Structure 1
Amino acid sequence: MPAQRVAVVGTGYVGLTTGACLASLGHAVVCADADPRKVERLRAARVDILEPGLPETVRDALEAGRLEFTVDTAAAVAEAEVVFLCLPTPMGAGGAADLAAVEAVAEQIRDVLPPGCVVVNKSTVPVGTSERVAALLGRADVAVVSNPEFLREGRAVHDFLHPDRIVIGAAQRDAARRVADLYIALDAPLVLTDPASAELTKYAANFFLAMKLSFANNLATACERFGADIGDVTEGIGRDPRIGSSFLLPGPGWGGSCLPKDTHALLTVCEQAGVDFPLLRATIDTNVIHQRRLVERIAAACGRGPDGSLDGVRLALYGLTFKAGTSDLRDSPALAVARLLRERGAELTAYDPALCEEQPDLSDLAELADDPVRAAEGAAACVVLTEWPQLRDLDWAAIAARMAGHEVHDFRNLLDPDRLARAGLSWQGIGRASASARVA
């Protein structure tokens, strides 16, 4: 199949990964973004997103002459055979997806799209968005296709080039085939369907993953109550192929750039359509309840007075990003727990290896430390919130020497309890029998 001319509008996680990877497959790609500073940095192969393999993929594609960056969206799409919309769809009022960016770009490009090109919704969008975009374009000679992404942050390049499946929803078979041909070099199952089914597939996948995580966190509470071990229980059920072992690790709740907004968006559109979905609502509510429970556990261990007040109690937080391997703070469960602790009056100092250089402004929430030992100064307890593997190898003896207390609340079950005990620290995991006394 000959290379195609592709335009990608938006250079966030999805857009930049899509553009760079399609260029690596041999297509001629132009990525457009409204931010001149970002475009200038990308032209110099400077990628600000912490994503393994992405800087190298961008650099190689630039050097091969198959990837360009521009601020001129109209020029980018004017000669494209396929145009990908990779635009933000954040949570809007009432939980619905905010489609303002998608709609604005559709109106911007409708008069410059070449006849016969295909517009692809790559963004996560509600059912019916393909029809909405087609109506905004008002072009009978331009097909609109849904091709949702299934990229994990920290593994986005790998996931694009080694997909579990490629889902394409189109009303016209020829348009679907043209989009499928972009991926012809990849060995992956192809799911060809209608736009509504493709759009719902993405939401359904994220809901199911969120549901498994809420289940695992609720199961961890049961393990603590009964003196069971969450690791053994999830191994026992995860080896059943009908269940699977992925997304069964308990933690401080689920979050990130996709699951919170997508579950709320799905719940909203279901309510608008008169579809009762109590399991989805319970999945969301369980996540919030779980995070509050973890904060109560810290208050019971470190709080002052009969009500467990955390006023003036210093806590060291290890990890603020929503998962290891990324600098993304969007809807991070670590930040959600931190906010709850701050609301209770706790004084927070945080260390995150991905934020040492970026230093985002979190002054209303926590002081950022660039050294894990300094973060523990005067802390009544340490709280592990992100599963950074390098936290296992910290100098825990030095940390213990700086702390005012001796407890480590490991909400990722990441650390070695024996190693911490040798450093004079008391480890409290999640879903482990050792934590049962704390939550009785």
Structure 2
Amino acid sequence: MLRPCLSLDPAAPKLLLGGKTLADQQQQQQLVRQKRDWSNLGLIAERVLAFDVADYLRFRAVCRPWRHCSTEPHTHGGLDRRFHPWRWVLLREPLAAPNRRCFLNSFTGEFIQVDLPELLDHELLAVTPEGLLVLLHDHNHVRLLNPLTRHVTELPPLTTLLPSKDHVMLSYFNIDDFLATGSGIASDDSTVVLCFNRFRILGMAKPGDDHWILLKYNHDGFTHTPLMFAGRFYYVKVKGVMALQICPNQPPRLEVAAKLNMHVSPISEGLHLVNSCGDLMLIHRQIVPFTSPDKSRYQYDMYRVNLDTGTLLPVKSLGGSAGRAMFWGMHCSFSVPLEVFPSGSISADTIYPSFDFTERSLLKVGAYHLLDGHIERPSGLLQRPNTLVDCLSLSNTVDDE
């Protein structure tokens, strides 16, 4: 725990206290100042920030001298990655205050509650991989909110991205049409990529721009989960895993990053991109015949996307020294290490589908073990957190039905 410190230069007492002379008291104060060696405090602040911005904000809250030796987040742009809460996952369980939200640290298992008054008059379109919230005000004005530093970044309005024939959709706004999964910060650290997968369009803009650069794409019905990964936009089509290239003085373009080398039917199968602790993964979701009572009609095959060779490598493990689990949503996903949660609460190398997936409600698939295809039945079918798994599964559920 960080404790408030005393003033660095307390006023020298003018009276004799406790039988000590003024010189004795001054000497004692000098010894205290020598023990408080603040010369490396700036370096400590940098190391705290490199680990987690939430700890950094706690560090700055200790006292005024600690704030003076550390950087004020608001003096830097909202796209400065040092201050992004990329470790924190927004949870959806209801809290007492309408603008209060709970966040989970996917590395440590810590929970915090944050008041976000912006949610009272903004629509939440997406949470980026950096932990920023994509907000929409008055059905037109796009903003990025850092939920921990409260830094707001203004972006061009939607009317500069959508074709004029689609502007009427903004007047009877439906959040399902404007889910912006796949949005995030490009690798140049200055460009925001805004993705509307339902419209199959990408918008690219920098803070201060007056309009979005439009790029259309075709996902062949495969991409349920476009993804920003390591500063690049990815989605899937028949050709393979496609990646967005943004180069200086060149128009943005999409190119093949990895070939599928498999036949996929968009009717009975699906391809989902996920980030598993720094690895780009592809989940192949398909219907298979019943084989035994503990098997699902759905089978999930996972592949690691090797961007160096442009190939897919089948995997049965999510990695981690003590194992990891994947909480998988139709629109967003995250993985967590087992050691930060109570023993037995979640299983290693296991996929937990969100409430968005029909197999959870219709076929009662609560968990799928990659190693042997074994399934676990969900503890509850309603969208309310009964267990830790339910709470985490609800966090990446977008469908409100």
TM-score (norm 1): 0.27
Structure number with greater CO (CA < 8 Å, separation at least 6) is 1
Structure with bigger strand share is: 2
Structure with bigger helix share is: 1
TM-score (norm 2): 0.28
